[in-house]
C-alpha cells in the first residue's frame, strides 16, 4: 500500500487536529508536518517530500491561495475553508477538492478518493518499462529511451522531464512516484522533484548532487538514504 506524505497548513489548531484524526482512520497516510501560517508552511514544503497538502485560505499575512500560487511545483492540494466564495478560484488553481468547514468524515473520505483517483489518471505517460529501456509518449510520438541515456528525471507538477545525455530532454505526462516504483535500483530519489541515475553522478554532499555540471538539491527526507547508497556503492 502507498504511504502518502501529508502536510497540513491551517491557523486553527483544532482544524489541524480534525484532519489528523480523520487521516488516522484511513490507511496509507502519514502527516509529516503541520504549520499555522504560509511562511512556516513554505519551509515544510521545501524540507519534505509532500504528496498531499491540506490548505486553509484565510490565514495571517499570506492567504492560502497566494501561498499556492507561489509554489513552482505544488503537491496535490485539498482546500479546507470556512468560506465558499473562494471555491472557483481554488479550482482554477487545480486543487483536488474544496471542503467547507465543518467537514464531515464522509465528505473528507470522498476528497481522499478524488486525490487517489487523480494520481491514477495522471500515470499515463510511461507506457512500458523493460530491463534496459523504457517507452514514453511525448510530443505525439513514442520514444524508446535506454536507461544509460537518462541522467536524471525532474517532476514539474503533473509532468516529468527526462533529462538525457547530450542535453536531450523528453516531456511526458506522468508522476514521479509512478516511475520511481518501476525504475531499476541505480535510479534513486533525492528530492520530491528529482530522481538521479547513479551512473551519471560526478559528485555529491549532504545538500547537492552534481550531474554533468548540473547541481540538484537533496531534500532532508531523502538525505540519509542518499548518502548511505553512495557510500555502499564505493
Residue pLDDT, tens place only, 130-167: 668 888 887 767 788 889 999 999 998 778 999 999 88
Calculate Rg over the CA atoms of the chain.
19
CA-wise closest residue to 75 among 99, 35, 48? 48
Q: Euclidean distance between the first and final Cα of the chain, in Å? A: 32
Model's pTM, two decimal places? 0.57
Do strands 76-81 and 141-146 pair parallel, antiparallel, or not at all (unpaired)?
unpaired
User: By the 8 A CB rule, do 107 and 98 touch?
Assistant: no
- In angstroms, the CA 141 to CA 158 distance is 19
Residue pLDDT, tens place only, 83-128: 999 899 888 888 999 999 999 999 999 999 999 887 765 545 665 5
DSSP code for 203: E
Question: What was the pLDDT predicted at 117?
Answer: 82
- In angstroms, the CA 160 to CA 173 distance is 6
Amino acid at each position: 500500500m502507498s504511504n502518502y506524505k501529508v502536510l497540513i497548513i491551517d491557523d486553527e489548531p483544532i482544524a489541524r487536529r480534525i484532519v489528523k484524526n480523520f487521516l488516522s482512520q484511513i490507511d496509507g497516510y502519514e502527516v509529516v508536518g503541520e504549520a499555522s501560517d504560509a511562511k512556516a508552511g513554505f519551509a515544510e514544503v521545501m524540507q519534505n517530500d509532500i504528496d498531499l497538502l491540506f490548505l486553509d485560505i484565510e490565514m495571517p499575512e499570506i492567504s492560502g491561495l497566494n501561498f499556492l500560487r507561489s509554489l513552482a511545483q505544488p503537491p496535490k492540494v485539498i482546500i479546507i475553508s470556512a468560506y465558499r466564495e473562494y471555491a472557483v478560484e481554488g479550482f482554477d488553481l487545480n486543487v483536488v477538492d474544496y471542503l467547507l468547514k465543518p467537514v464531515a468524515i464522509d465528505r473528507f473520505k470522498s476528497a481522499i478518493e478524488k486525490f487517489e483517483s487523480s494520481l491514477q489518471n495522471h500515470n499515463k505517460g510511461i507506457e512500458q518499462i523493460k530491463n534496459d529501456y523504457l517507452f514514453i509518449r511525448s510530443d505525439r510520438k513514442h520514444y524508446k529511451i535506454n536507461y544509460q541515456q537518462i541522467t536524471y528525471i525532474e517532476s514539474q507538477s503533473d509532468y516529468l522531464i527526462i533529462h538525457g545525455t547530450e542535453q536531450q530532454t523528453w516531456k511526458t505526462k506522468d508522476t514521479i512516484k509512478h516511475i520511481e516504483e518501476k525504475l531499476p535500483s541505480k535510479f534513486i530519489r533525492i528530492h520530491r522533484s528529482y530522481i538521479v541515475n547513479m551512473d551519471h553522478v560526478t559528485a555529491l554532499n549532504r545538500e547537492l548532487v552534481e550531474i554533468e555540471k548540473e547541481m540538484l538539491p537533496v531534500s532532508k527526507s531523502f538525505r540519509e538514504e542518499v548518502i548511505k547508497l553512495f557510500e555502499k556503492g564505493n
